[in-house]
Amino acid sequence: MTSSSVPVHVNGPSDPSGSAGTPAPVAPARRVPTLLRHGLWAVLALVLLTIATGQVSSFANYQLAHLGAVVCAAAGLTVLIGLNGQISLGHAALMAIGGYTVALYLGRIDDTGTPGLSDLVIALLLGTVVTVVVGAVIGVAAARLEGPYLAGVTLALGVALPGFTAYFGSVLGGDQGIFIPVPGPPEALDAWVSLQRWQALIALVCVVLVMLLLANLKRSAVGRHFAAVRDDEVAAAISGLDVARVKVLAFTVSAAAAGLGGGVLGMWLGSATPGGYDLYLSLGPARGGRDRRSRQPRRGGVGGPRRRLPGRGRGAGRRRQRHLRGRGRPTAGQPRSRSLRPAAHRRDARRPRRHPGAGAPPRRTAPPSRFGRSVKEARMNTHVEGSRLGSMIRGARAPLAVGAALALLLSGCGSNSEAGSGDSASAAPGVTADEILLGTTQPLTGPAAPGYSNISKGMQAYFDYLNDNGGVNGRDVKLLVEDDAYNPSQTATATRKLVLEDDIFAMVGALGTPTHSTVLDFLNQSEVPDLFVSSGSNAWNQPDKYPFTFGWQLDYTTEGKILANYVKENLPDKKHCSFGQADDYGEDGVKGVETVLGADALAVKQTYNPANTNVGPQIGELQSADCDVVFTFTVPGFTALAMGTAAKMKYAPQWLVASSGADVPTLEGFLKENTTPLLENMISASYMALSGDDEDSWTQLFKKINTEKNGDLAFDGNVAYGMGLAYLTAQVLKAAGDNPTRQSLIDAVQAGGQTGSPRAPYRYWATDHSGMSGAAIARTTDGVSQVIGPVQVTDVGSGPIEEYTGERTQAPASGLPW
């Protein structure tokens, strides 16, 4: 029995004098009650964290809040997997329940007044309670299932989440999610505590609370019951435990932590969206939580494949935080000596890897006398695996969290001086004597990247061209492109990084509705110009609520109206149907169609989920309903799928495709040699130069720049889109004056009068931030789209559709807007 080199608080009250096989070397008189000990740690942690959050930048605080959310959930997951041996891959879904509850509650308060701290506390509690209820229900099912089957169910739960939010879209807001009005710091603190720091503090309080409760739980009889069930269900049952009840309880406890974590995550994100709680989130904590153990050398014995697994009984020490890197060497046969020295190295995060050797009493995880050794010995079922995880979960939760947080602070934030304060006397953030720094978030990886990743290439190319020609008022325009993989929580982080760390002057062309929705409040509260969002949602045009945000492309509703108007005039007596993406794109579009044709005009309304490429059932429905005219609000891939599937069924309706899904060069990427026959006679809306129309001066200009700057990148509608957006950006930057400020930029946009590649004029003034106002109808013949009608303009409401008679601006020969 070696004794520890570190002075220790020994040991919880629950240890009946170390009867687990090793005599306790310390006199009972020196024990400190567990709760008190943990409580002291918690207080210490809180004090340290409060101080720490004051020392670091806003962005680091923001990251801390994120960390706090994940740590809460991870702690719960550790109890479930580590202490009780059940697997869950669906904790993100449980977190989502917490997040959505918080969102619904705070949203409700927001309707009548401004939510305060007490509302936030109630919301988080409510989120936890609701998640507990759901968790208990799932736990009952889970208790019957073994590892991989449970993994399957929980995985399916995580994957099904977006479906549920879409199905209950009126309450849960579908893909876009629901906005969470996060209360800022109370007035008394307002002067010293930034919003980011306030959120970090709330998150960290939650973490400490969760850690404190879980650490105590683990030390209690309940915790030992968890471990006993994990180690051997049969033995546990023989000892009189109700195995099922213990498992359900573990799942419930874990759900509670996940629910709270989800609530905190929602607060951090500013909204509850399915994308914010995606599968990677479930795996994230698991990754952090469990992989350490994988280095366990296990060989020996007959060494066979894993059937023998049950036989190996060695715990490996481990900690939970992925932020504590590089810890210790797992030595197989560490002396089992330290078994009674639990609290020992708590404060040294790198240290406490204890390996109860084979056969050693699983220190403090099993009740000494009841389960002690027998638990370790009789292992028959594969669940033991959990045990090894679990035996390492030491009680040292709270101190470790502190360590984790500090490590993060030290590593992440060392270099960071308070952002935003560097703009001394000079103009605005992001503007120097020879440069204007802009930022954007785009999907450069992930499923949305093919196609859309070309938009930022178009923007980049145009700005390069601009800089070659002298830039704006003598300053080069530099664009920072952050990849968000079309995942809202990544957008949230990337946008804050751009604003708080990189100190950009303005956001420009950030892509996507569900993604950009999460940062609307942040950008507007930070008073960062948020120009020309790349999506046709109506959300960007709310000048009262979001004075710094401006839309760009034609909104989906207006597009729907213009397409419907064509049908009303040319194909009125046919059977009208729709096929749209199951989110705001499809819904807004259909709304526009119904505004013009009447609420019951669409006989069949089919939708698709972008995650499922089998659209046969939907197209089959359209066919069997004999739809003659199909309004299609799809992204290009699904336009191609819909048409291809229909062609296979010998079904040839008149397709009317919204512009986002109708770019011929992009569709050609999907349809290949079938492009010309399949697209024949397709009607689409076109709000800017068609990328296949070589007669158009804008297309000529953008093609020229693309060849010059992007080399062999194929020119398509996405490139043109990015360039058109960059052209407008250059225009408003110029108008913002020689010494642009954020306010002068906003004023310049709101002054209106911009011109560019769109067919109809821009709508930018103080009360309208929508951007493009209209489109023309185009028809595709022989693989080429051509405009067949006048440009029409209208609004998103029930306003009339009118012909735009003004002349369209031609592209300047210089390629510059001045």
Q: 87 near 154, Cβ under 8 Å?
A: yes
Least distance (Å) between residue 166 CB and other proteins: 4
Percent helix, strand and coil across the chain, each rounded to 5?
55, 10, 35
Provide DSSP, 434-481: SEEEEEEEE--SSTTHHHHHHHHHHHHHHHHHHHHTTTBTTBEEEEEE
Asked if 649 is part of the footprint of other proteins (rule: CB under 8 A), the reply reads yes
- The two beta strands, 271-272 and 629-633, are unpaired
Distance CA 420, CA 401 (A): 29
Task: Figure out which of the listed residues 162, 261, 774, 789 binds other proteins, where binding follows CB under 8 A.
Answer: 162
Asked if 147 is part of the footprint of other proteins (rule: CB under 8 A), the reply reads yes
By rule CB under 8 A, what string of x and - marks binding of each residue 726-755 to other proteins?
A: ------------------------------
Nearer to other proteins, 501 or 621 (CB): 621
Task: Figure out which of the listed residues 389, 405, 494, 690 binds other proteins, where binding follows CB under 8 A.
Answer: 389
Least distance (Å) between residue 676 CB and other proteins: 15
Task: Figure out which of the listed residues 148, 359, 598, 800 binds other proteins, where binding follows CB under 8 A.
Answer: 148
Q: Which stretch binds other proteins (CB under 8 A): 107-115, 165-173, 252-260, 591-599?
A: 165-173
Asked if 87 is part of the footprint of other proteins (rule: CB under 8 A), the reply reads yes
Task: Figure out which of the listed residues 19, 239, 432, 445 binds other proteins, where binding follows CB under 8 A.
Answer: 445
Structure tokens at 633: 């609000």
- The two beta strands, 576-581 and 602-608, are parallel
Task: Figure out which of the listed residues 400, 504, 507, 641 binds other proteins, where binding follows CB under 8 A.
Answer: 641
Q: Locate tokens 């069924």: which residue?
A: 649
Least distance (Å) between residue 724 CB and other proteins: 22
Task: Figure out which of the listed residues 144, 331, 527, 572 binds other proteins, where binding follows CB under 8 A.
Answer: 144
Least distance (Å) between residue 297 CB and other proteins: 9
The three-point CA angle 272-274-280 to 5° equals 115
Least distance (Å) between residue 401 CB and other proteins: 22
Q: 560 near 588, Cβ under 8 Å?
A: yes
CA neighbor of 202 nearest in space, from 132, 116, 274: 116
Least distance (Å) between residue 43 CB and other proteins: 34
Asked if 153 is part of the footprint of other proteins (rule: CB under 8 A), the reply reads yes
Nearer to other proteins, 329 or 650 (CB): 650
Provide DSSP, 238-250: HTT--HHHHHHHH
Q: Which stretch binds other proteins (CB under 8 A): 32-40, 157-165, 176-184, 430-438?
A: 157-165
Residues within window 657-696 making contact with other proteins, judged by CB under 8 A: 669-670, 672
Phi, psi of 207 (to 5 degrees): -60, -50
Task: Figure out which of the listed residues 74, 79, 126, 166 binds other proteins, where binding follows CB under 8 A.
Answer: 166
Asked if 582 is part of the footprint of other proteins (rule: CB under 8 A), the reply reads yes
Distance CA 97, CA 102 (A): 9
Task: Figure out which of the listed residues 151, 189, 603, 784 binds other proteins, where binding follows CB under 8 A.
Answer: 151
Distance CA 36, CA 246 (A): 26
Asked if 143 is part of the footprint of other proteins (rule: CB under 8 A), the reply reads yes
The alpha carbons of the chain give a radius of gyration, in whole angstroms, of 30
Task: Figure out which of the listed residues 447, 470, 598, 800 binds other proteins, where binding follows CB under 8 A.
Answer: 447
Nearer to other proteins, 35 or 160 (CB): 160
Q: 131 near 210, Cβ under 8 Å?
A: no
Task: Figure out which of the listed residues 164, 189, 547, 784 binds other proteins, where binding follows CB under 8 A.
Answer: 164
Least distance (Å) between residue 621 CB and other proteins: 6
Q: Locate tokens 């999460």: which residue?
A: 518
Nearer to other proteins, 473 or 613 (CB): 613
Asked if 765 is part of the footprint of other proteins (rule: CB under 8 A), the reply reads no
Least distance (Å) between residue 58 CB and other proteins: 30
Phi, psi of 348 (to 5 degrees): -105, 105
Nearer to other proteins, 34 or 441 (CB): 441
Q: 438 near 505, Cβ under 8 Å?
A: yes
Least distance (Å) between residue 292 CB and other proteins: 10
Consecutive H or E run containing 72: helix 58-77
By rule CB under 8 A, what string of x and - marks binding of each residue 268-307 to other proteins?
A: ---------------x--xx--xx-xx-x-xx--x-xxxx
CA neighbor of 142 nearest in space, from 224, 257, 247: 247
DSSP at 801: P
Q: Which stretch binds other proteins (CB under 8 A): 16-24, 340-348, 380-388, 695-703?
A: 380-388
Q: 589 near 662, Cβ under 8 Å?
A: no
Nearer to other proteins, 219 or 457 (CB): 457
CA 619 to chain centre: 31
Asked if 240 is part of the footprint of other proteins (rule: CB under 8 A), the reply reads no
Task: Figure out which of the listed residues 42, 60, 64, 155 binds other proteins, where binding follows CB under 8 A.
Answer: 155
CA separation (Å) from 186 to 120, 126, 194, 208?
A: 12, 21, 11, 21
By rule CB under 8 A, what string of x and - marks binding of each residue 505-544 to other proteins?
A: ----------------------------------------
Structure tokens at 761: 């004029």
Task: Figure out which of the listed residues 439, 637, 724, 761 binds other proteins, where binding follows CB under 8 A.
Answer: 637
Asked if 133 is part of the footprint of other proteins (rule: CB under 8 A), the reply reads no
Residues within window 26-85 making contact with other proteins, judged by CB under 8 A: 81
Kindly state the number of chain residues that form the binding site for other proteins, as judged by CB under 8 A. 85
Distance CA 382, CA 163 (A): 34
By rule CB under 8 A, what string of x and - marks binding of each residue 606-625 to other proteins?
A: xxxx-xxxx-xxx-xx-xx-
Task: Figure out which of the listed residues 650, 711, 712, 814 binds other proteins, where binding follows CB under 8 A.
Answer: 650
Task: Figure out which of the listed residues 213, 217, 222, 243 binds other proteins, where binding follows CB under 8 A.
Answer: 243
Beta bridge partners of 688: 758
Q: Is 795 exposed, middle or buried (0-12, 13-18, 19+ CB in 10 A)?
A: middle
Q: Locate tokens 């090894």: which residue?
A: 388
Residues within window 409-428 making contact with other proteins, judged by CB under 8 A: none
Structure tokens at 243: 């195995």
Task: Figure out which of the listed residues 222, 449, 652, 784 binds other proteins, where binding follows CB under 8 A.
Answer: 449
Provide DSSP, 616-680: HHHHHHHHHTT-SEEEEE--HHHHHHHHHHHHHTT---EEEE-GGG--HHHHHHHHGGGHHHHHT
By rule CB under 8 A, what string of x and - marks binding of each residue 200-239 to other proteins?
A: ---------------------------------x------
Residues within window 309-348 making contact with other proteins, judged by CB under 8 A: 309, 312
Distance CA 355, CA 359 (A): 11
DSSP at 787: E
Nearer to other proteins, 64 or 604 (CB): 604
